[in-house]
């Protein structure tokens, strides 16, 4: 990630500040969903880390302080799972800003995509990315959380070595438990509000209906289509109502016309799901595997010969071998 110019008088945190007598804040490298992201260094291990910082909450604040709390909780619960950044610590800075220290990752998938020819992934790379995001969602849903903001910029590759062949899911501030203490789906609220990003949101959530696991998977599907075709049919629309209209009107075959036909079966499946359907992640993972050009008829084969993006190397566990 590239650094962002900022003075040493950053209103979130002071550069050089030592967090928990262990993590030194070095520079601001970007913005998250509700705060700033900094590069830091773990003095105990000599490793670079990411520090996500939320503005201190006051009576005049417009952000929801619960998002940082939720993100912290989710990161603790997914710790050790392969498609999530490792959390190292959490606390408050000298300026009273809540922070989370976590594994420093590489570029998000939109940045990676824009660096490849025609700004779209080859079919081979696309379906390996799709598989990995499905695995991350399956793990999250098995913990009874929905993400509610699945999109390419919330998926990153690792920073170095073998980790650059892996996709990581990030930004858990919108997560919500979809099951109650008895293990049943929570009752659907009449007006659940809207959380997420309009471009990738399901039609159901754009109508402020309750989001469930299926809605995460619909967002996944829209993200996959965009990464394989450069843009979605409603990318240039600015109004939510216009986006919703196009999503409702487009035929599944037209949405996936530039992708292997197996993708249309994913769309058919996902659009048939209700709020309280968990979604068949194994079906989607298999569909992604079947979308691999090595298993498709000739005519799509040559797409696999395109050079994959930098960092997506060969070898077991890579995007090119899953």
Average pLDDT score over the chain: 84
Q: Where are the alpha helices (DSSP H) in the chain?
A: 66-77, 109-113, 123-142, 203-206, 213-229, 240-249, 252-255, 262-271, 281-290
Task: Name the pairing type of β-strands 145-146 and 98-103.
Answer: unpaired
| CA neighbours closer than 13 Å in the CB half-sphere of residue 140 | 35
| Residue 52 annotated as binding site | yes
Per-residue pLDDT tens over the stretch 110-164:
999 999 989 999 998 998 999 999 999 999 999 999 999 999 999 999 999 999 9
| CA neighbours closer than 13 Å in the CB half-sphere of residue 206 | 19
Q: Which of 90-94, 104-108, 171-175, 317-321 has the lowest mean pLDDT?
A: 317-321
Under DSSP, is residue 114 helix (H, G, I), strand (E, B) or coil?
coil
Per-residue pLDDT tens over the stretch 188-197:
999 999 999 9
22 vs 262, residue with greater confidence: 22
Cα(158)–Cα(165) distance, rounded to whole angstroms? 7
Domains of the chain: 18-103 (3.30.200.20), 109-305 (1.10.510.10)
Query: What pLDDT is recorded for position 267?
Result: 86
Is 80 exceeded by the pLDDT of residue 5? no
Cα(232)–Cα(230) distance, rounded to whole angstroms? 7
63 vs 231, residue with greater confidence: 231
Query: What pLDDT is recorded for position 276?
Result: 87
Q: Where are the alpha helices (DSSP H) in 78-195?
A: 109-113, 123-142
Query: What pLDDT is recorded for position 272?
Result: 87
Active site residues: 149
Contact between 181 and 97 (Cβ < 8 Å): no
Task: Name the pairing type of β-strands 167-169 and 176-177.
Answer: unpaired
Phi and psi, residue 29, nearest 5°: -120, -5
Q: Which of 142-151, 296-305, 309-318 has the highest mean pLDDT?
A: 142-151
Query: What pLDDT is recorded for position 262?
Result: 78
Crossing angle (nearest 10°) for helices 123-142 and 213-229? 160
Q: How many CB atoms lie within 10 A of CB 292?
A: 20
């Amino acid at each position: 990630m590239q650094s962002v110019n900022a003075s040493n008088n950053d209103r979130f945190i002071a550069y050089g500040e030592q967090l928990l007598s262990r993590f030194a804040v070095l520079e601001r490298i970007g913005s998250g969903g509700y705060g700033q992201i900094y590069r830091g260094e773990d003095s105990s291990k000599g490793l670079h880390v990411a520090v996500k910082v939320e503005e201190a909450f006051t009576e005049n604040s417009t952000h929801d302080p619960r998002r940082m709390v939720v993100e912290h909780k989710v990161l603790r619960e997914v710790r050790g799972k392969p498609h999530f950044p490792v959390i190292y610590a959490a606390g408050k800075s000298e300026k009273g800003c809540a922070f989370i220290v976590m594994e420093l990752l590489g570029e998000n998938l939109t940045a990676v995509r824009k660096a490849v020819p025609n700004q779209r992934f080859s079919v081979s790379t696309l379906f390996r990315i799709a598989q990995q995001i499905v695995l991350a969602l399956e793990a999250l849903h098995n913990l009874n959380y929905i993400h509610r903001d699945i999109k390419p910029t919330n998926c990153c590759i690792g920073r170095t070595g073998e980790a650059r062949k892996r996709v990581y899911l990030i930004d858990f501030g919108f997560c919500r438990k979809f099951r109650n203490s008895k293990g049943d789906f929570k009752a659907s609220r009449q007006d659940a509000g809207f959380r997420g990003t309009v471009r990738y949101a399901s039609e159901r959530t754009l109508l402020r209906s309750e989001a469930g696991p299926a809605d995460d998977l619909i967002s996944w599907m829209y993200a996959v289509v965009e990464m394989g075709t450069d843009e979605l049919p409603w990318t240039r629309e600015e109004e939510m109502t216009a986006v919703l209209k196009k999503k409702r009107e487009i035929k599944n075959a037209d949405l996936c016309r530039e992708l292997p036909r197996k993708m249309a079966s994913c769309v058919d499946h996902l659009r048939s799901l209700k709020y309280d359907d968990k979604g068949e992640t194994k079906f989607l993972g298999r569909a992604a595997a079947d979308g691999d050009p090595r298993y498709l008829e000739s005519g799509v084969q040559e797409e696999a010969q395109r050079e994959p993006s930098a960092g997506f190397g060969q070898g077991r566990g890579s995007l090119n071998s899953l």
